[in-house]
Amino acid sequence: MRYRTLGGKRRGQERLTDNGAEPPSFSMRIAVIEPLPFGGLLHYSVQLADALAMRGNTVELLVAREHELDARPGPARRRAVLPADAPPAPANPTPAQRTLRRARTALRLVATWTRVAREVRFGDYDAILLGGSFDMALTACYGLLVTRLTGSTPLAHVCHNVRPFNRWGGDELYHSSRVTIALLGRLYPSFDLVFVHGEHSKLEFEATWPPTRLAIIPHGDERLFSDEPPPPADEARILFFGAWRKMKGLPVLMQAFDALAQRRPEVRLTIAGPAVPEEGESERVLAWAAERAERVEVLSDYIPIERVRGVFARARVVVLPYLASYQSGVLHLAMTMRRPVVVTSVGDLPHAVTDGVTGLVVAPRDPQALADALGRVVADADLAERMGAAGYARVVDHSGWPGIAERVEDSLRPLLDDAQR
């Protein structure tokens, strides 16, 4: 099958390689667009773009200026053309400083999605993969605009969270804005294809949103953080890693740790990741940790990539006490670092863990069950090492990027064939 350039200013003309020869029949010119300048979504998009390029596709990776992986080259062509992130907020922002930060973020989002729209409209691609997160009305509106500008060029979206999580205070785990939900109900069917990360996510997507063409791809390993996993830890330390979102269940972990520490005074806990004051968890977590300073370590800032391996190296087990989730980069990062995991049975998390082999799965919102599972792994260094090794083998075998890139290609080709016809 010969693919033609379907979008942009050369629509309808055959695409040739630089030396004038026709490219291989499987080759595509793909744009991978990731608006976020740091974090798990950026890591995912960069690794996916490089994996697609390694398979012979011409891939352009559109990212923010001064993004987190700026110093890391790869086979995908980097184009840092999206606006840089807004300046970081102070450690203890005043209400006025928070308002200013939000205004700057809104302005950046407008500038970012305006540039994305321009690239989609005038770029010369066979297919476009759009990352990012549509968890606000503003981004959902721009997403709808982008879907109207692609012409016949297939546009796919990698949907990491089927339903947007609540970013503000209150007990609700999911975003409940009627405007945002209504916009997402129009946005998702406008994509030619939406990728999700598991069968559970697919079923919930089908139950939540209007009919949309879906495909399942794994989350992917996280070997960009380290070429080699660290050796087993020599202390009984538990690691919680990631932003302090309310859906991640830190209060349940705090109860579980207190129960476990009564039985095993030697156990230690590290909470590493940025606090999220808007969601109301931060002050409670910091006050609890301060009362247990001899046992609980808090690293309440974003952990840069060069420090991640060291944080995981000290941990014997990684815990994900989530109340809700779909899939988790932290889970795959832990297995890539050869660490066993204790996770809750929410979303597709239990499908990524072989219970009793690569880690343990417990019910959500059950501090006692979580304490028992953590105690079983953290107190047995040999068991932790065996589980970590099994998890590493699983993530490499089942979530390697070459296989994910092949599945993405297989999902995109029918769209290109349909567009050509």
159-174 tens-digit pLDDT:
999 999 998 888 899 9
Task: Determine contact, residues 128/154, Cβ cutoff 8 Å.
Answer: yes
Q: Lay out the sheet containing 214-216: strands in order across.
A: 77-82, 58-64, 29-33, 127-130, 155-158, 193-196, 214-216
pLDDT at 366 over 50: yes
Spatial distance between the Cα atoms of 169 and 171, rounded to a whole number of angstroms: 7
Query: Nearest 5°: phi and psi at 231?
Result: -65, 165
Q: What number of other Cβ atoms are within 10 A of residue 72's Cβ?
A: 12
Average pLDDT over residues 368-394: 98
Look up the CATH superfamily of 8-218+400-416: Glycogen Phosphorylase B; (3.40.50.2000)
pLDDT exceeds cutoff 60 at 14: no
Q: If you average pLDDT over residues 76-86, what whole number do you get?
A: 90
CATH fold of the domain at 226-398: Rossmann fold (3.40.50)
Percent of the chain scoring above 90 in pLDDT: 80
Segment 308-312 mean pLDDT: 97
Number of alpha helices (DSSP H) and beta strands (DSSP E) in the chain:
13, 13
Residue 177 above 80 pLDDT?
Answer: yes
User: Residues 121-133: what's their mean pLDDT?
Assistant: 94
- Quote the pLDDT of residue 86: 65
Q: Is the pLDDT of residue 418 over 90?
A: no
- Per-domain boundaries in the chain: 8-218+400-416, 226-398
Cα gap 74→52, rounded to integer Å: 11
Neighbours of 97 (CB within 10 A): 12
The answer to whether the CB of 181 falls within 8 A of the CB of 136 is no
| DSSP H or E segment with residue 95 | helix 95-122
- Mean of pLDDT over the chain: 90
Q: Do domains 8-218+400-416 and 226-398 have the same CATH topology?
A: yes
Query: Whole-angstrom Cα distance, residue 73 to residue 275?
Result: 30
pLDDT band at 28, cuts 50/70/90? very high
pLDDT at site 17: 38
Predicted local confidence at residue 2, as pLDDT? 38
Give which of 342, 400, 349 is closest to 376, Cα–Cα. 342
Report pLDDT digits (tens) over 338-365.
999 999 999 999 999 999 999 999 999 9
- Of 60-69, 78-87, 283-292, 344-353, the one with minimum mean pLDDT is 78-87
The two tokens of residue 148 are 């109207």
- Residue 182's pLDDT is what? 96
Taking alpha carbons only, the member of 331, 329, 362 closest to residue 346 is 362
| pLDDT score of 239 more than 80 | yes
Position 88 confidence tier, pLDDT thresholds 50, 70, 90: low
Q: How far is CA 256 from CA 57, 263, 293, in A?
A: 48, 11, 17
DSSP summary character for residue 148: T
